[in-house]
Amino acid sequence: MDNERTIIEKAMGLIYDKAAERYSPKVVDHGINPRNHGFMENPDGYASFTGPCGDTMEIFLRVRNGIIDDITFDTDGCAFTLAAGSVATELAKGKSFAECLALNESAILDELENMPDDHTHCARLAALTFHKALRNCFRKMKEDE
């Protein structure tokens, strides 16, 4: 078991090193170790969106006093989609609804620093899904008034 774990760790290290030769450290890190990845029970806001590439992203929000208190995401996409979802959730956490309006494709790409041109649509998918989840949350809040 320990031998198998050592082999896996070495293989992951090689994959990380190879990827780091081509992509920014942030793209590689968030693609391999996505933050806020997973599902959320009883979210205040939720959205699922499928992009033109066929990848689907889901975003779950929990809001307290108008601030994104918790946010998670899931995707069936590639490492670049994972990286975009991870960065989107990090940028949103702790922000007000008004501040979240600035979270768009450009903000995600800027944070990732060097997303390959053929994968910039992953940042668009994350931004669109996030804004759809915000609208869902806002609509639920209005219904509860």
Instruction: Please check whether residue 90 is in contact with residue 72, taking contact to mean a CB–CB distance below 8 angstroms.
Output: no
What's the domain count of the chain?
Answer: 1
Q: How far apart are CA 4 and CA 24, in angstroms?
A: 29
pTM for this prediction: 0.87
Instruction: Please check whether residue 36 is in contact with residue 93, taking contact to mean a CB–CB distance below 8 angstroms.
Output: yes
Active site residue 78: no
What does the pLDDT look like over 84-140, one tens digit per residue? Answer: 999 999 999 999 999 999 999 999 999 999 888 999 999 999 999 999 999 999 998
Residues 69-98 have a mean pLDDT of 96
Active site residue 100: no
Instruction: Please check whether residue 49 is in contact with residue 74, taking contact to mean a CB–CB distance below 8 angstroms.
Output: no
Q: What is the CATH number of the domain that holds 88?
A: 3.90.1010.10
**Which residues constitute the domain of residue 52?**
2-144
Q: How far apart are CA 141 and CA 145, in angstroms?
A: 7
